[in-house]
C-alpha cells in the first residue's frame, strides 16, 4: 500500500496536516464572518425555492419539491465551498500573498502544501454541508438516520472538488480566468446535475452529459441518505467519486508542482 501511494502521490507526507492547521487558525480569527453565512444561505434557498417555488410544483419522484430539493442544497455546497476556497483562496495564497513560497521554505514539500490546501477545501465543505443538514433537520426534512453519513460525503466530495479546483488554477495565467471555472463548470453542474429537477427530464444526450458531472453523483448520494430511499446506482456513484478524486489529486500534484517550480 505504501509503495502504491509513493508511486502515484510522491512527496506527500503527514506534514500536509500542518497546512490544514494553519488555515484553521486563520479561519478561527475570522469566525464571525465565516460561521454565520453557512447557516443563512441555505435558509434563503430553502424558503425561497423549496417552499416558495415548490408550492407551485407537484411531487417530484414521490417527494414534495422541498424534500426533493433540500438534500441537493447539501450537495451544492460540497461543490461550491472547495471551489471558492481552493480556486480563489488558493490562487491568492500562491501568487499574490506568496504564502506557498513561505511554506515551501520550511520542511514542507510542494505536494504537502497542495494537499493541505485541498484538505482545507474539504473541511470547508464539511462545515457548510453539516450547517445545511442542521437547517433542513430543523424543518423536518431529514427522514432517515442514514443522514448521519452526510459528513463523510462532505469530506470525500469536498476533497474531489478541491482537487478539481486546484488542477484548474495550475495552468490559468491570471486570477481573472477563475471566472470561467464558475461560469462554465460550476453553474452548469448546479443547474443540470439533478439539483432542481431529475435529469430524466432532460433529452437523452443531456442525461449522459449530466451523469458525467461530479455533482450529479454527490446529489444522488445525499438525496438517498437524507430521504432513506437508496438509489440503485448509489454504490456506482461512491466508486465514481473515489476514482475521480484520486485521479484529480494526482493531476493536481503534478500540474502545480510544474507551475510552482516554473
Q: Is 130 within 8 Å of 154 (Cβ atoms)?
A: yes
CA–CA separation, 138 and 94 (whole Å): 40
> pLDDT tens string for the chain (262 positions)?
445 555 556 677 888 899 999 988 888 887 777 767 766 777 787 878 777 777 777 777 778 888 888 899 999 999 999 998 899 988 999 888 888 889 988 888 889 999 999 999 999 999 989 988 988 898 888 989 999 999 999 999 999 999 999 999 988 888 889 989 889 999 999 889 988 888 888 899 999 999 999 999 999 999 999 999 988 999 999 999 999 999 999 888 888 877 776 6
Q: What is the pLDDT of residue 38?
A: 67
CA–CA separation, 241 and 221 (whole Å): 10
Report the candidate in 212, 169, 216 with the shortest Cα–Cα distance to residue 196.
Answer: 216
CA distances from 193 to 59, 72, 96 (A): 19, 9, 34
Q: What is the pTM of this model?
A: 0.91
- Cell numbers placing 101: 513560497
Domain spans of the chain?
A: 17-261
Cell numbers 520542511 label which residue?
107
Q: Is residue 14 packed enough to be buried (19+ CB in 10 Å), middle (13-18) or exposed (0-12)?
A: exposed
Q: What is the pLDDT of residue 6?
A: 54
Q: Is residue 176 packed enough to be buried (19+ CB in 10 Å), middle (13-18) or exposed (0-12)?
A: exposed
- Cell numbers placing 214: 461530479
- Cell numbers placing 163: 482537487
Q: What is the pLDDT of residue 66?
A: 86
Q: What is the pLDDT of residue 239?
A: 94
Q: Which helix (H) or strand (E) holds 119?
A: helix 110-138
Q: End-to-end alpha-carbon separation of the chain, Å?
A: 31
- Residues pairing with 63 in the sheet: 60
Amino acid at each position: 500500500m505504501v509503495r502504491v501511494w509513493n508511486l502515484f502521490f510522491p512527496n506527500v507526507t503527514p506534514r500536509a496536516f500542518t497546512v490544514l492547521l494553519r488555515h484553521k487558525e486563520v479561519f478561527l480569527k475570522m469566525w464571525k464572518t465565516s460561521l454565520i453565512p453557512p447557516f443563512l444561505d441555505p435558509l434563503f434557498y430553502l424558503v425561497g425555492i423549496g417552499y416558495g417555488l415548490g408550492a407551485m410544483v407537484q411531487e417530484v419522484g414521490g417527494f414534495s419539491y422541498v424534500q426533493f430539493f433540500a438534500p441537493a442544497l447539501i450537495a451544492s455546497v460540497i461543490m461550491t465551498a472547495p471551489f471558492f476556497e481552493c480556486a480563489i483562496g488558493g490562487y491568492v495564497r500562491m501568487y499574490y500573498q506568496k504564502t506557498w513560497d513561505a511554506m515551501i521554505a520550511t520542511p514542507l514539500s510542494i505536494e504537502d502544501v497542495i494537499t493541505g490546501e485541498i484538505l482545507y477545501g474539504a473541511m470547508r465543505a464539511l462545515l457548510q454541508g453539516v450547517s445545511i443538514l442542521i437547517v433542513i433537520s430543523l424543518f423536518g426534512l431529514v427522514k432517515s438516520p442514514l443522514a448521519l453519513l452526510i459528513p463523510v460525503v462532505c469530506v470525500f466530495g469536498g476533497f474531489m472538488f478541491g482537487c478539481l479546483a486546484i488542477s484548474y488554477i495550475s495552468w490559468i495565467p491570471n486570477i481573472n480566468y477563475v471566472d470561467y471555472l464558475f461560469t462554465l463548470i460550476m453553474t452548469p453542474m448546479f443547474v443540470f446535475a439533478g439539483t432542481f429537477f431529475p435529469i430524466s427530464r432532460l433529452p437523452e444526450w443531456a442525461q449522459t452529459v449530466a451523469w458525467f458531472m461530479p455533482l450529479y453523483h454527490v446529489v444522488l448520494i445525499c438525496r438517498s441518505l437524507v430521504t432513506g430511499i437508496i438509489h440503485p446506482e448509489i454504490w456506482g456513484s461512491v466508486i465514481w467519486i473515489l476514482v475521480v478524486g484520486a485521479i484529480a489529486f494526482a493531476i493536481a500534484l503534478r500540474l502545480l508542482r510544474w507551475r510552482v517550480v516554473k
